[in-house]
């Protein structure tokens, strides 16, 4: 227990963390280019936010939330997703009163008490964006294109973009009735989960991953068949804007998203080669959410990308990802006096923005050279008694193996010349 992380969580060790930094830096750069600014919200919120904002008939809220009472008796939940918190912050800080749209992004951990398997964790990480205050289909296209651009910048291949429109409060009830009719006739053939979903949230039945449920619902009426004229126009315009910028997609009338707040555009990006948990990101429009939280009727749209799965996909495709950054200078010392001088030199190098380190394990010179090699040091500065006496350093270029003497005060310019 004491030496194990909780199930469904993991450590990211040095060596691996550089890959995460690369995913995060690529996301930040992308957001800068698209005009999104970072929003940081707390890891936990009032449970009520997710009940209202995500929907209490969703699996995420019904079965997967980490909910507890704090010492003040409040019901608190670890955030299972980032959209409801972003909408809460947008309202709380009156951002709806400023210029619209408001474009924000977040990168951070989310928590769901899910069945742990490859690609499904209990603490996982999402990069997500949200746009509040524009219902324009151009924004739908831009958000979808931005998700695809993220994968493109990471050099991922073979993504499949699925897109649908789930309609609005005007047309969805019509579809819901038709779907209910269809499902009622096949109730016995559905799994237990779906049978209980039919009346509470029939759309979710289309999302069931059970083979049998998928077969039974094959010919089910889709939201696309019942879109009102406004929703249809919005969907057509969204697709035509995507065509304009060359984003390829598959229209998938069965695509519904796990969360309740979606209206109109819903999309998901799949990568079948990473296994059963093939969704590497998804999102959609949620025009009802801000009002649902007690604010004005403000449209919104966003996406969330699962970073664990993106990383798995990159590794599966054999991508070369950044690892440890090599050290510029290792200072190898022999004797206490040299160690003191070495420490001063290392500090001076660091203050000049050169990465530098020295031995603290009392290793022999030979062992220090070996250690420098392990650190992939570009250069080793060797200081022994002889060097101290003469005020010099032996500077060895680890790549070429060449070694020459430099005066201590010349070390800094010699290092600068060598560069990284």
Question: What is the binding site for ligand AMP (CB under 6 A)?
Answer: 81, 112, 114, 119-121, 124, 126, 257-258, 279-282, 304, 306, 308-309
Cβ proximity to ligand AMP: between 281 and 288 the closer is 281
Alpha-carbon gap, residue 306 to 304, rounded angstroms = 7
Nearest to ligand AMP by Cβ — which residue?
306
Contacts of 217 (CB under 8 A, 6+ apart): 182, 183, 186, 205, 206, 208, 254
Minimum CB distance to ligand AMP, residue 267 (Å): 10
Report residue 379 CA to chain centroid gap: 36
Cβ proximity to ligand AMP: between 237 and 279 the closer is 279
Q: What are the CA-CA distances from residue 261 to residues 57, 168, 241, 289 (Å)?
A: 11, 10, 24, 6
Backbone torsion region of residue 187, taken as left when φ is above 0, otherwise alpha when ψ lies between -120 and 50, otherwise beta: alpha
Cβ proximity to ligand AMP: between 55 and 342 the closer is 55
Minimum CB distance to ligand AMP, residue 379 (Å): 42
Cβ proximity to ligand AMP: between 123 and 394 the closer is 123
Cβ proximity to ligand AMP: between 252 and 308 the closer is 308
Minimum CB distance to ligand AMP, residue 306 (Å): 2
- Rounded to 5 degrees, what angle do the CA atoms 342, 347, 351 make? 150
Minimum CB distance to ligand AMP, residue 73 (Å): 29
Cβ proximity to ligand AMP: between 172 and 309 the closer is 309
Minimum CB distance to ligand AMP, residue 411 (Å): 48
| Nearest CA-CA partner of 327 in 289, 293, 372, 362 | 372
Cβ proximity to ligand AMP: between 278 and 394 the closer is 278
Minimum CB distance to ligand AMP, residue 281 (Å): 5
Alpha-carbon gap, residue 120 to 7, rounded angstroms = 11
Cβ proximity to ligand AMP: between 78 and 408 the closer is 78
Alpha-carbon gap, residue 24 to 106, rounded angstroms = 10
Minimum CB distance to ligand AMP, residue 276 (Å): 12
Minimum CB distance to ligand AMP, residue 112 (Å): 5
Where b means 16+ CB within 10 Å and e means fewer, 136-153 reads bbebbbbbbbbbbbbbee
């Amino acid at each position: 227990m004491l030496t194990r992380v909780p199930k469904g969580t993991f450590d990211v060790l040095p060596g691996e963390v550089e890959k995460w930094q690369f995913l995060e830096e690529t996301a930040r750069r992308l957001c800068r280019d698209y005009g999104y600014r970072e929003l940081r919200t707390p890891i936990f919120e009032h449970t009520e936010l997710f009940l209202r904002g995500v929907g209490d008939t969703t699996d995420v809220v019904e079965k997967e939330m980490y909910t507890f009472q704090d010492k003040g008796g409040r019901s608190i939940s670890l955030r299972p997703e980032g959209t409801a918190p972003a909408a809460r912050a947008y309202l709380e800080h009156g951002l709806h009163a400023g210029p619209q749209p408001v474009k924000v992004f977040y990168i951070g951990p989310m928590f769901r008490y899910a069945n742990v398997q490859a690609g499904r964790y209990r603490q996982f990480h999402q990069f997500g964006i949200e746009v509040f205050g524009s219902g324009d289909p151009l924004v739908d296209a831009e958000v979808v294109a931005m998700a695809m651009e993220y994968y493109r910048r990471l050099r991922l291949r073979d993504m499949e973009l699925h897109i649908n429109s789930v309609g609005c409060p005007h047309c969805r009830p019509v579809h819901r009735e038709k779907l209910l009719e269809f499902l009622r006739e096949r109730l016995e053939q559905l799994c237990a989960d779906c049978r209980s979903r039919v009346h509470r949230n029939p759309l979710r039945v289309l999302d069931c991953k059970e083979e049998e449920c998928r077969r039974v619902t094959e010919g089910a009426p889709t939201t696309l068949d019942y879109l009102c004229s406004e929703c249809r126009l919005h969907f057509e315009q969204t697709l035509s804007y995507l065509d304009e910028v060359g984003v390829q997609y598959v229209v998938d009338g069965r695509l519904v998203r796990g969360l309740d707040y979606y209206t109109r555009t819903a999309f998901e990006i799949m990568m079948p080669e990473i296994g059963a948990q093939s969704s590497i990101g998804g999102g959609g429009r949620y025009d009802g959410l801000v009002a649902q939280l007690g604010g004005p009727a403000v449209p919104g749209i966003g996406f969330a990308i699962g970073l664990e799965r993106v990383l798995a996909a990159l590794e599966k495709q054999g991508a070369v990802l950044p690892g440890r950054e090599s050290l510029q200078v290792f200072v190898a010392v022999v004797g206490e006096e040299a160690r003191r001088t070495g420490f001063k030199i290392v500090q001076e190098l660091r203050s000049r923005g050169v990465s530098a380190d020295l031995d603290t394990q009392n290793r022999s010179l030979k062992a220090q050279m070996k250690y420098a090699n392990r650190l992939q040091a570009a250069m080793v500065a060797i200081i022994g008694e002889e060097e101290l006496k003469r005020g010099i350093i032996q500077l060895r270029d680890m790549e070429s193996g060449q070694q020459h003497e430099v005066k201590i005060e010349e070390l800094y310019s010699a290092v600068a010349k060598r560069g990284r």
